Every structure is written in C-alpha cells, then in structure tokens.
Chain A
C-alpha cells in the first residue's frame, strides 16, 4: 500500500475513534467496543474504497453499504461525517432526542445510510436484495455488508448466505468483524461460530481472512473481493474489540458501556497524542 495513503487512513481512523468516544460519552450510552474494532475498516472503506458522493447521498451509481452490526453506528457516523455527509460536530448529538443520529442506523434520517439496521441478522438480507437487483440490471456498483462475529449466530445470516451463494452474487462483499467477544463473553464460551470461513465456503462464497487493523491487508482483501467473479465474497477480519483505546482493548465490558468523564478524558488524550505522533511521522 502507498505509504501516503496508509498515513491518511491512520489519521482518519484515529479521528473516527475520537468520534466514537465523543459520541458515546455525550450520549452516556452506546457501543464503543465494537465500534472501535471497525474504525480502521471504516477509514479504509470511506477514504479508499467506496464510490460515494456526499453531495448526493442517494446517487444511483454509488456503492451501497449496510451496517448489519448496527450497534457500531458511532464508527459509521464518524466516517460519514469525516467524508462530508454531515458536520462532524453532530457526533455529539448521538442518541439525543430530536437528532437524526439514532442509536442504530436510520436510513430515513441520516444522509449516507442506505439501510436501517441494528436488529442483528437483518442487514445482510437487505444487502443481498440490493445486490440481486444490481446484478439483474447489470449495474456496476458493489454492495457491502458489515457483520459482527456474534451476529452470525443469527440463523437469518445463513439464510442470506445460502441465497447469495445460490444466486452467485459476486457484486456482494460481506465483512465479518471477528473481535471474538460478545456480550456474554468470548465466542468460544457462548456459542462458537468457528470455523467461519469454512461455513461461508460451504454456502458458495469466496473468503479471505485478514488482520483488519492492517490497512495493507484490508486493501489487498477488498481489491480481491471487488475483482472476484461468480461468487459472493466474505472477508473475515480478525480485530480487537475496543482497539485504539488502551483500557478498552479486548474487554467485553466495553461492548455496551459509555466512558465516564475521567475515562473520556483519558481516551481522548491517548487518541490525540497518537494523532499528533502520526502527523509528525507524516512530515
């Protein structure tokens, strides 16, 4: 990967993480853990991958994205804001009455959101519907769906996987955020979905397994997925829940808890110091 692009993405991911902390702190609720684990992914998608137009959020030629793990909305919103869909300042209104940034994505009110989601297992089906339509009408855009690893315990995910495999939807790219933690504990403790790739392969998908905090690996996997033909593609991204905020990393307690003032200050100070370091190294 181009070193300048890598630095840009690192900076964007850092800002997304700041947005996640800002949003969940001000909302006094939300899901920082699973949002931080996809911050790098969102930086890559919105600043190097997706063909979208913030001036025309419903532009027909855009790539579609469905955040099936809708609780990672803070990461999604921060990325959309940084990309210019709405002012970044609005992140502070996350989950506030009268504001469009709902606890989970709402397609009717937030620019850039293609599908309302949040009830696990449902977003992937909508993405499959979008991909089917595009395929039937020979449209060139791609449809992306981001799932959680806990989410794939939902049976509907496999209904959708079976359909997409059967219909050979090679314009569909799914991403499983494999941070290995769900609310009640580790995946192995609750109900193991492993091996994930083999399950998708059995349903007729192409797969790639990567470290999703490595931009070069993200780029390589998505480039491969975009070029794939004849099968839908799933990228299983190993990640760290809470990634980027030292005291949140790999701790299930941060799935659905907001930072208090002290934690907020600590987290932001860490992220801002990191940002400064990244900026300096870019010079």
Chain B
C-alpha cells in the first residue's frame, strides 16, 4: 500500500473554501482561533476580508454565523467537532437550525484519530448530537476528494449543514470522476454475502477489508454513506434485501451515529435483517498516535473482516 496517497479530509475542506471564495460573493468563513488546524487558514490567506476570527468563543461564533446568514450570506463556521457540536450545541440548535440559518458548520478533528490530544478533544458524539436536531444535514466524507465535493455541495444547499472532517491523513480513494450528492450513498463494490456500510475514514478500511474477504471467498457489498442525514434509505434497504445482513463501520460512538441510523431504517422495514455495528463502544478515547488508537479501538480492516464473518453466521441461523 506504499503507493497510496494520503490526505486529511480537512485539507479538502480548506481547498474547497478557497475556491468558494472566488465563486460566492456573499461568503463568510468563521473560525474560533483554530484556523491553521481546521484549514480555514487557507481561506484566510486567499480571502482575508471574508474571513472572521471570533477568538476562543464558539458559542458566540455560532450566533454571529446565524446573524451573518440572516443578512443573506453563506456562512461557514469552523472549530473542532468537540467544540462545534459539543460546546456550541445549543447555539447550533437554537440560533442556527431553528431559524433555518444558512450556516455550514465545518467541524474538524472528529473522532479518536485526533490522536495524542486525548479524550477531551476526541469527539465521538457529534453525529448523535447533530442527528437529533431537526433541519440539520450531516455529511461525513470518506476522503479529501469527497470532502471537497461535500463542502461545495453544502455551500450550494440552502440551510444548515454539519460537515465532519478528520485531522489524520487518510487514503484518497476517490478520483476526480467521483460525484457527490447530498443524501446519496455509493456502492464501491458489489457483493452478495454481506453489506458493509462505512462512513468517513472507515471507508478506506472497508475497502481494504473487502480484499481480505475476497481472499476468504466472501463476497461483500461495500457501501459508502457520507450523508448520515438525510440517510439513503433506498440504498440501505436494497442492500439488506440483496445480502441479508449488514455491518456498519464508523469512527464515532455506536450510539446515535451511522450504525443507529442504519438500524432505524432496517428495523422499520418489512424485512429486517441483522445489523452489527463497529464503532467506539460507549467509551472515552485516550492519548496515543492516531493509527495505533484506531487499532486499539478495533477500527480497522481486520475487525471488519471478523465482524463480517460473524454477521454472515447470524444470517445462516
């Protein structure tokens, strides 16, 4: 895998913002003293007049974003996921989502792959928090290519959007032909024994797991779900019908994230199938190198393979 190009999704976000600065006149990008880390710094350099640093005050930043959007602007507000979705949750709910403000929350450093900073900065609850808010679109892109496309799609969409990005450089799995549409998932590989639905940086691991499964003679359908809300129900139901069992994979709590969303769709369908969830198992993270942490939390291809085999076993019963 030495030829794999790696790039963080936050880089795709920063690149998209720079381009959007040329395309949208009424655009603001806000940050809360983390511009270098969230990559809004790239935008700041290219479009200083449209950039606004709010200082270390995320709650106020979300309110300012709402006020700017009400004046007819497209507004991106960035911080780490922990502070954007966590600390400023109520401002996002009451000042952005409720009034239907045209604000895009660019939340970086999501999940445990933040690494050494440890549990206080490793947000594994943001998708759950944002999912519960009416009117909120949630996008968790798989790689930097998709991150860039998702950022542009969010800018074109009218209404609040939560964009989830990572700190860690992850394999680039899509090329320039990739198409992103809000609410639509992608089948990355066809298969009939099991469906593996992954999101964010776990999509690359699912692709890797697919090769290992193939070697074992297992045919897996690999699905990328970037838009967690509104979720692609049709694709999930079709996958359930086709393969009879589903494994979900996410770098987020197994409570309230992709796995929960898939279960909700499956449980309310006419023909439910077993769903096994891989994610952070209702626990806090801790310090360590990102890649080692992902292994510690079994967020890797090996666990996807084992879980897929277990899932297929459930189907046989």
Q: At the interface, yes or no: A133 with Cβ under 8 Å from chain B? A: yes
A residues near B57, Cβ cutoff 8 Å: 156, 159, 162-163
The answer, among A108, A131, A136, A160, for a CB contact under 8 Å with B60, is A160
B residues near A166, Cβ cutoff 8 Å: 55
Q: At the interface, yes or no: B70 with Cβ under 8 Å from chain A? A: yes
The answer, among A115, A128, A134, A160, for a CB contact under 8 Å with B99, is A115
- Closest chain A residue to B99 by CB distance? A116
- Closest chain B residue to A124 by CB distance? B63
Q: At the interface, yes or no: A129 with Cβ under 8 Å from chain B? A: yes
Interface of A is mostly: helix
CA distance A219 to B57 in the complex (A): 34
- Whether A128 and B64, one on each chain, are in contact in the complex, defined by CB atoms closer than 8 angstroms, is yes
Min CB gap B108→A, angstroms: 21
Q: At the interface, yes or no: A206 with Cβ under 8 Å from chain B? A: no
CA distance A66 to B95 in the complex (A): 12
- Whether B67 and A130, one on each chain, are in contact in the complex, defined by CB atoms closer than 8 angstroms, is yes
B residues near A129, Cβ cutoff 8 Å: 63-71
- Whether A125 and B91, one on each chain, are in contact in the complex, defined by CB atoms closer than 8 angstroms, is yes
Q: At the interface, yes or no: B192 with Cβ under 8 Å from chain A? A: no
Q: At the interface, yes or no: B62 with Cβ under 8 Å from chain A? A: yes
If A125-B59, A156-B60 touch, whether A132 touches B95 (CB-CB below 8 Å) is no
A residues near B100, Cβ cutoff 8 Å: 108
CB under 8 Å from chain A, chain B span 45-101 = 49, 52, 54-55, 57, 59-71, 73, 90-91, 94-95, 98-100
Min CB gap A12→B, angstroms: 27
The answer, among B59, B62, B64, for a CB contact under 8 Å with A132, is B64
Please report the total number of A residues contacting B with Cβ < 8 Å.
31
- Whether A128 and B67, one on each chain, are in contact in the complex, defined by CB atoms closer than 8 angstroms, is yes
Q: At the interface, yes or no: A126 with Cβ under 8 Å from chain B? A: yes
Please report the total number of B residues contacting A with Cβ < 8 Å.
27
- Whether B67 and A122, one on each chain, are in contact in the complex, defined by CB atoms closer than 8 angstroms, is no
- Whether B73 and A159, one on each chain, are in contact in the complex, defined by CB atoms closer than 8 angstroms, is no
The answer, among B52, B54, B71, for a CB contact under 8 Å with A130, is B71
The answer, among A66, A114, A132, for a CB contact under 8 Å with B68, is A132
Min CB gap A106→B, angstroms: 8
CB under 8 Å from chain A, chain B span 109-132 = none
- Whether B66 and A126, one on each chain, are in contact in the complex, defined by CB atoms closer than 8 angstroms, is yes
- Whether A132 and B67, one on each chain, are in contact in the complex, defined by CB atoms closer than 8 angstroms, is yes
- Closest chain B residue to A161 by CB distance? B60
- Closest chain A residue to B64 by CB distance? A129
- Whether B67 and A125, one on each chain, are in contact in the complex, defined by CB atoms closer than 8 angstroms, is yes
Q: At the interface, yes or no: A107 with Cβ under 8 Å from chain B? A: yes
If A108-B100, A162-B55 touch, whether A119 touches B60 (CB-CB below 8 Å) is no
CA distance A136 to B90 in the complex (A): 28
A residues near B90, Cβ cutoff 8 Å: 119, 122
CB under 8 Å from chain B, chain A span 115-146 = 115-116, 118-119, 121-134, 136
CA distance A55 to B90 in the complex (A): 33
- Whether B54 and A163, one on each chain, are in contact in the complex, defined by CB atoms closer than 8 angstroms, is yes
A residues near B99, Cβ cutoff 8 Å: 106-108, 115-116
- Whether A122 and B70, one on each chain, are in contact in the complex, defined by CB atoms closer than 8 angstroms, is no
- Whether B59 and A156, one on each chain, are in contact in the complex, defined by CB atoms closer than 8 angstroms, is yes
A residues near B60, Cβ cutoff 8 Å: 125, 128, 156, 159-160, 163
Min CB gap B105→A, angstroms: 15
- Whether A122 and B64, one on each chain, are in contact in the complex, defined by CB atoms closer than 8 angstroms, is no
Min CB gap A28→B, angstroms: 24
CA distance A121 to B69 in the complex (A): 18
CA distance A79 to B222 in the complex (A): 59
Contact string, B187-198, partner A, CB cutoff 8 A, digits 1/0? 000000000000
Min CB gap B21→A, angstroms: 15
CA distance A107 to B100 in the complex (A): 9
Beyond A107-B99, A163-B54, 14 additional pairs, beta carbon < 8 A: A118-B94, A119-B90, A119-B94, A125-B91, A129-B64, A129-B65, A130-B68, A130-B71, A132-B67, A133-B28, A155-B59, A156-B59, A159-B55, A159-B57
On A, residues with C-beta under 8 Å from B are 66, 106-108, 114-116, 118-119, 121-134, 136, 155-156, 159-160, 162-163, 166
Between A and B, 6 residue pairs with Cβ closer than 8 Å are A106-B99, A125-B95, A126-B70, A129-B68, A156-B91, A163-B60
